[in-house]
Amino acid sequence: MVGVWPIDAKGRPVRQAVLVSDTRGQEAIDATMARDSQVLKRIFANDGCVVEPGCTLPALRWLFDHEPETMTLARWILACKDWLRFSLDRRDRDRRKTEAAVAPGDARARGRSIDMLRLFGLDASIELFPPVLVSEAVAGHVTAAAASERGLRAGTPVAVGAGDVPCCALASGAADPGIACTILGTTLHNGLIVDRPVFEPFELGLLRGCFRAMPGSAHIDCCAGRGGLIFLGSAFRWNRARVRLDGDAGRAHLIAV
Amino acid sequence: MVLNVALNRLLGVALVQRPLILGVDAGLTMTKAALFDEEGREVAAVSARSETSAARAIRNVFTVATQTARMWPRSV
């Protein structure tokens, strides 16, 4: 879900989105580490997650460093889910209330962090980041234009929504503290529902805030698949296409792989 | 575009007059859309392949790797 979806003041993309799998942000992480050797520990202690090159802040730093002219057109920086929602209800409400997730942020405060922005030299760009709202809130309603484009009914309420990991955990039935789950998608997550932010084991895995409407189930602590596993879905799809194995035989082969 | 394909397929089976909740997941590999009733029961779900420049790049990497491996001398 993280990455960068830069849009202009009229809600138009100023360039292609940078996805979570993009590695160009490593340059910004390396530069930050060169200034402060403890920066990764500092980020984990604040965010509860290891920082990936495709996280919003390092990827955005790369864009500012390499595409400054394009980025002067950007008015808002969104995440994927926020862009989807924005495309449904953007003309229904005050654009200043457009809300978005960003990583790394502040896991305890469940919001963005000026300290994290400062680590990547982005504190002066804080106006690009809309406020953070809770996932259960209704952000707006499907506009007439969006209804025409998408085939949905105009006026349908549009919720803020949440990231893929908390949603998958909830959908799998992992809704109460102590329940563990495995999420197998393009990425692989083994997670545990906890009732408060957990920062152990230190510098390993991801911590995701869940829905505030779920009493006592505030967070999911994930030991995420990393490295080669980040492209699990694409690799499987490529493998299936190459060996031409579909159905039960194909699935058995891929599981064996 | 991928989202529209998924929604069109989904809404074709959702012509019922009752409150439904539509969830959309735009993943790196697939875009999924599903309808649920107010009790959380799945009514319908569809998916369509996500087409991204990143996915194309990944496919190209694997293709080049395969071609390179085939060109490699067997004795090495």
Spans of all domains in chain A: 5-159, 164-225
Bridge-based pairing state of the strands B42-49 and B30-36: antiparallel
Q: What is the mean pLDDT of chain A?
A: 78
Q: Does B60 contact A at CB distance below 8 Å?
A: no
* Bridge partners of residue A181, in order along the sequence: A191
pTM, two decimal places: 0.76
Select from A22, A167, A187 the Cβ nearest to the Cβ of B54.
Answer: A22
Interface mutation target, options A158, A237, A243, chain B, most CBs of B under 10 Å = A237
Q: How many CA atoms lie within 13 A of A193 on its CB side?
A: 24
**What residues of A are in contact with residue B64 (Cβ under 8 Å)?**
none
> Is residue A243 classed as helix, strand or coil in its secondary structure?
helix
Tell me how far apart the alpha carbons of residues B31 and B33 are, in angstroms, rounded to a whole number.
Answer: 7
Length of chain B: 76
- Please give the Cα distance from A171 to A168 (Å, whole number): 5
pLDDT at A94 over 50: no
How much is the average pLDDT of B23-36?
88
Reported ipTM: the value is 0.72
CB atoms within 10 A of CB A20: 24
Higher per-residue pLDDT: A231 or A175 = A175
Distance from CA of B71 to the nearest CA of A (A): 17
How large is the average pLDDT for residues B46-69? 74
pLDDT band at A137 (very low <50, low <70, confident <90, very high): confident
Amino acid at A57: L
Most confident of A125-134, A209-218, B2-11, B47-56: A125-134
Q: Does the pLDDT value for residue A227 go beyond 50? A: no
DSSP track, A3-72: SBEEE-TTS-BSSPPBPTT--TTHHHHHHHHHH-TTHHHHHHHHHSS---TTSHHHHHHHHHHH-HHHHT
Tell me the backbone φ, ψ of residue A49, rounded to 5 degrees. -130, 145
pLDDT for position A200: 81
- Find, among A24, A28, A219, the residue nearest to A117 by Cα: A28
Chain A residues inside the 8 Å CB shell of B53: 16
Q: What is the pLDDT of residue B56?
A: 73
| End-to-end Cα separation, chain B, in angstroms | 46
SS3 A146: helix
Q: How many residues would you count in chain A?
A: 257
Residues 6-35 in B contacting A (C-alpha not used; CB under 8 Å): 7-8, 11, 22-30
Mean pLDDT of all residues in A201-230? 58
Identify all chain A residues contacting B2, using CB atoms and an 8 Å cutoff. none
Contact A245, A220 (CB under 8 A): no
CATH code for the domain defined by A5-159: 3.30.420.40
- Asked whether residue A22 carries a pLDDT value surpassing 50, the answer given is yes
Q: For residues A174 and A168, is the Cβ–Cβ distance under 8 A?
A: no
CB < 8 Å to A150, chain B:
3-4, 7
Q: Domain coordinates of chain B in residue numbers?
A: 2-71
Select from A19, A152, A238 the Cβ nearest to the Cβ of B28.
A19
- What residues in B contact A20, CB-CB < 8 Å? 28
The CA distance from A104 to the nearest CA of chain B, in Å, is: 20
Q: How far apart are CA A68 and CA A61, in angstroms?
A: 10
